[in-house]
Amino acid sequence: MAKISKIEAQKRQGRYNVYLDGQYAFPVAESVLVRFRLMKGLELDKKQVQAITTADQQARAYGKVLDYLSYQMRSESEVLKKLRDLETPAEFVEPIMAKLRDQHLVDDQQYARSYVRTMATTTLKGPGVIRQQLRLKKVGENEIETALQEFPADAQLENASKLARKLFKRYHNQPEFRREQKVRQGLMTKGYAGEVYDQIKDAVTPAADPDQENALLAAQAEKVWHRYRRYTGVDRERRFKQAMFRKGFDLDAVQQWLAENQEGLS
């Protein structure tokens, strides 16, 4: 048996040094100090000392996780990864996780709700992308479904409209048909269902600009026609029309351009 001869506070808040029979023996967290009722004059055997130091190792790991959680909410899988990164002994992991769950410091349902609200208010990502990001964080499907209720349909349409207007500006130098394709695809890439574009199309599509469309067609037509100069006759016209269609131009408009410029083309 050894007797506690002194307990002194460390410079680090909440940590203490314990001395046995006048010699430094081990450090402890305040929670361990209280749990084991350590005080000057208390006698400890080797088994008790081992239990105390083991409890302190767990307390230190728990404290580091609390620091990790102090910056923002985390999913359970993120906390587990952090514990592994800290090289926490395997036998400490579940007790620490249980304590965090009991204190509601780790709660995937609350985490998912908060995550959805944050994404809905700070980004223009749609529910599909948000769902995938939560899956990557290993949040369960039921929790995700419940959390997505924080992003109702009207809010989705509002964000999708903002995104669509940005995309229309980005692709302003594309033919009207191609521009619409790009915007629709952009919305789906960001996680919105295909029908969302149909719901907001009339409100977000810029007014048609025939002069700009004609200028775009003329600029591209000259380049494409020149590209197929090694072909002749009907074969050249066919390849030209196919290329212009792939670029998103209306075939009737392409045919009209060709008819109007046929004599000057070489």
Q: In tens digits, what is the pLDDT along the chain, a chain of 266 residues?
A: 888 888 999 988 889 999 888 889 889 899 889 988 998 988 898 999 899 999 998 998 998 999 999 989 999 999 999 999 999 989 999 999 999 999 999 999 999 999 999 999 999 999 999 999 999 999 999 999 999 999 999 999 999 999 999 999 999 888 888 889 999 999 999 999 989 999 999 999 988 778 787 788 788 888 888 888 888 888 888 898 888 888 888 888 878 888 888 776 76
Domain that holds residue 220: 210-261
Co-location of 159 and 188 in the same domain = yes
Q: Is residue 266 part of a domain?
A: no
Q: Do 7 and 98 reside in the same domain of the chain?
A: yes
Helix (H), strand (E), coil (C) string for 91-129: HHHHHHHHHHHHCCCCCHHHHHHHHHHHHHHHCCCCHHH
Beta sheet of 15-20, edge-to-edge order:
23-29, 15-20, 2-9, 43-44
Q: Are residues 93 and 145 in the same domain?
A: no
CATH, residue 233? 1.10.10
pTM of this structure: 0.74
| Strand 2-9 relative to strand 23-29, pairing | unpaired
Same domain, 52 and 139: no
- Classify residue 169: in a domain, yes or no: yes
Residue 62 lies in a domain: yes
- CB neighbours of 220 closer than 8 A, spacing ≥ 6? 244, 247, 249
Domain of 34: which CATH number?
A: 1.10.10.10
* Residues 49 and 7 reside in one and the same domain: yes
Please indicate, yes or no, whether residues 6 and 45 belong to a single structural domain of this protein: yes
Same domain flag for 22 and 93: yes
Q: Is 18 within a domain? A: yes
Residues 130 and 157 in one domain: no
Q: Structural domain tally of the chain? A: 4
pLDDT tens digits for 97-139?
Answer: 999 999 999 999 999 999 999 999 999 999 999 999 999 999 9
